[in-house]
Amino acid sequence: MNQRANLKLSGQTAIVTGGSSGIGKACAKALGKAGANVLIDFVGNPAGAEEALTEIEASGGKGMIFKADVSREEEVRALFDAAREAFGTVDILINNAGIQKDAPFVDMSLKDWNFVLNVNLTGQFLCAREAAREFLRRGPRPEVSVALGKIICMSSVHQLIPWAGHVNYAASKGGVMLFMKSIAQELGEHKIRVNSIAPGAIKTPINRMAWKTPEAEKELLKLIPYGRIGKTEDIARIAVWLSSDESDYIHGETIVVDGGMALYPGFRDNG
Ligand code: NAD
């Protein structure tokens, strides 16, 4: 008997955007190991996406890698076409691709403002819209999931916590919060389940400067009551759970996974 048939996400297909590094790569691997076929989107360097695919295949799973810039409508369409062609449909979107382009506010260029908003917010719009269209086109498949489809937006604690020097990033993640809730409100009646994950500080290339020296790491730890920097697997586990029927009644919610970073740790010593 095929043992993978009993896995939590068997028979489903997931797209993970920005899947060649960091959180996206870990999500791709975890979804693949949970039984899903995984389409790993990347821009630039395919090596990380290939590594994730190799690991999924070694565990008996299936997937493919595909190059698409989430901020470009035609490339997002091509990404979903590729998933349909390879696996028939899409059941899960991990809307993960994201970037930072930091600068003091008065020095921030329009180019860098637009770049971050285009990837972090417009990219999530384009991918989620394409996913919802595919879920509605395909119709229910109760044999694989109670929901018609699942969309998981990778937000950040900075959907809540203002971030000086990173206003484009914080604005994009604040935007993701109400984007996610609004589409959850609109798509719920179709049984399309939409949620976000808001990571705190997770060790990945996006925030290397914050942990690459012992001094930087010590400073960062002051912001994390639980006393450790997050690992990509901390997020991937939640992504698998939110993708599965185990979380079926969670809809329009953000799960903050941050070791307590959003608990105003500056107030620990009486403010
Ligand atoms: P990362 O830099 O490793 O991953 C981001 C990925 O997005 C990269 O693989 C990159 O190639 C890809 N990407 C960038 N622009 C793209 C585009 N136009 N189209 C497709 N892919 C694109 O960093 P990460 O930490 O793994 O970030 C993943 C997500 O998690 C981001 O949305 C980020 O904002 C969010 N996040 C990260 C942290 C953290 O502490 N690492 C905290 C909160 C939120």
The active-site residue, picked from 169, 226, 249, 264, is: 169
* CA atoms of 158 and 166, how far apart (whole Å): 9
Q: Look at the chain and report how many structural domains it folds into.
A: 1
Closest CA to 28 of 57, 5, 3, 4: 57
Query: What's the gap in Å between 182 CA and the centre of ligand 1?
Result: 23
Q: Is the CB of 24 under 6 A from ligand 1?
A: yes
Tokens 């609004």 correspond to: 182
- Distance (angstroms) between ligand 1 centre and the Cα of 136 equals 28
Using most ligand atoms within 8 A of CB, pick from 23, 51, 75, 117 the residue to mutate for ligand 1.
23
Short-list 227, 118, 125, CA closest to 169:
118
What Å distances lie between residue 209 and 49, 138, 161, 212, 230, CA to CA?
23, 44, 19, 6, 15
Half-sphere exposure of 180 (CA within 13 A, CB side): 32
CATH of the domain at 111: 3.40.50.720
Task: Respond yes or no: is residue 169 known to be catalytic.
Answer: yes
Domain hosting residue 230, numbered range: 3-267
Instruction: State pTM to two decimals.
Output: 0.98
Closest CA to 49 of 89, 3, 17: 17
Q: What is the pLDDT along the chain (271 residues), one digit of tens a residue?
A: 467 888 999 999 999 999 999 999 999 999 999 999 999 999 988 999 999 999 999 999 999 999 999 999 999 999 999 999 999 999 999 999 999 999 999 999 999 999 999 999 999 999 999 999 999 999 999 999 999 999 999 999 999 999 999 999 999 999 999 999 999 999 999 999 999 999 999 999 889 999 999 999 999 999 999 999 999 999 999 999 999 999 999 999 999 999 999 999 999 987 7
